[in-house]
Amino acid sequence: MSYLEIKNIAKRFEDNKVVLKDFSFSLEKGETISLIGNSGSGKTTFLRILNFLLPMDSGSIVLEGKELCNGSSLSYQEKQKLNSNFGLVFQNMNLFPQYTALDNILLPLKSKLKKEAKEQAKEEKKKWKLIYQERLDQEMTSLKELASTFLLTEKLNHYPNQLSGGEAQRVAILRALVLKPKILCFDEPTSALDPKLKQEVANTILHLKKVGTTMIVVTHEMELALAVSDKVIYLEKGSIIEVGDKSILLTPKSDKLKAFLSLRSTDDESKEEKRRAF
């Protein structure tokens, strides 16, 4: 039994366009899997399904041997409860502009701790505020350590519009991480960043890999996929074309993956040439 099992997920959009077809894979605890493929291949749709932002038509998601969902409709609360197993870092970060970096991180953390403290208080017949404050103090200590690891200590009082792209992305990662998801998902975490900032974010993801975080990374960046992945899935038009360890990025078997990778390297070379010329 694997840590996460994705079984036969299918999804069509309203215009009847197939976005995911018989999509299955498994992931072990502490592993990182990268989903690669062209735009429209269904990578982001899968992440949205996994995080309960989109319903799937059929299939199932099994985590630690327990089926979380099988395509049946769920209420907002049910979806949110199941979603707490996953964390998602969006491509464009989606930080809340009206809050500082620290408040962006604390808002969901406080909400979660409050809910948990209220439930615990009911069971133990204690005042929830006392439990909440105690838990918050503990979390603040670990948050400060994480912020220091992510090189964000000096930036916590800055608003998102005062952060660089790399810093904002690290805040978004930290915001998802403090909720202690079992699996952390990244949707194109470096696509909007320049090479230097890409490296900063890649280092952060590598650090998470070292400390044993289970991750799913959707990316266009082959360097990132090579650096962080234990497994790689190549998708095209919603179907898995090739799956394997990261060596498939260097020695692809299918012609489609070969074509995709050669196109990417041509793209990267022309980008590099343009950058140098500039």
Nearest to 187 by CA among 34, 56, 40: 34
Q: How far, CA to CA in Å, does 184 sit from each of 166, 208, 251?
A: 18, 10, 28
Q: What share of the chain is helix, strand, coil (3-state, %, to 5)?
A: 45, 20, 30
Nearer Cβ to another protein, position 53 or 206?
53
Stretch that binds another protein, among 18-26, 58-66, 158-166, 197-205 (CB under 8 A): 158-166
- 186 binding another protein? (CB under 8 A): no
Q: Are 186 and 218 within 8 A, CB to CB?
A: yes
In sequence order, the β-bridge partners of residue 98 are none
- 158 binding another protein? (CB under 8 A): yes
Three-state secondary structure call for residue 97: coil
Residue 177, both tokens: 């991480």
Interatomic CA distance for residues 115 and 113, integer angstroms: 5
Shortest Cβ 167–another protein spacing (Å): 13
- 84 binding another protein? (CB under 8 A): yes
Shortest Cβ 222–another protein spacing (Å): 26
Shortest Cβ 219–another protein spacing (Å): 19
- 87 binding another protein? (CB under 8 A): yes
Q: Which of 59, 160, 165, 252 binds another protein (CB under 8 A)?
A: 160
Q: Which of 162, 254, 265, 266 binds another protein (CB under 8 A)?
A: 162
- 111 binding another protein? (CB under 8 A): yes
Q: Which of 38, 83, 120, 164 binds another protein (CB under 8 A)?
A: 83
How wide is the angle at C-alpha 226 spanned by C-alphas 44 and 194, nearest 5°? 70
Beta 86-89 vs 183-187: how paired, if at all? Answer: parallel
Q: Which of 14, 161, 250, 274 binds another protein (CB under 8 A)?
A: 161
Nearer Cβ to another protein, position 115 or 275?
115
Shortest Cβ 112–another protein spacing (Å): 5
Q: Which of 7, 108, 121, 149 binds another protein (CB under 8 A)?
A: 108
Stretch that binds another protein, among 5-13, 171-179, 207-215, 265-273 (CB under 8 A): 171-179
Nearest to 29 by CA among 183, 181, 174: 183
Strands in the chain per DSSP E: 4-12, 18-27, 32-37, 58-63, 66-69, 86-89, 183-187, 214-218, 231-236, 239-245
Contact positions vs another protein (CB under 8 A):
51-53, 76, 79-80, 83-84, 86-88, 90, 92, 94-98, 100, 107-108, 111-112, 115, 157-162, 175-176, 179
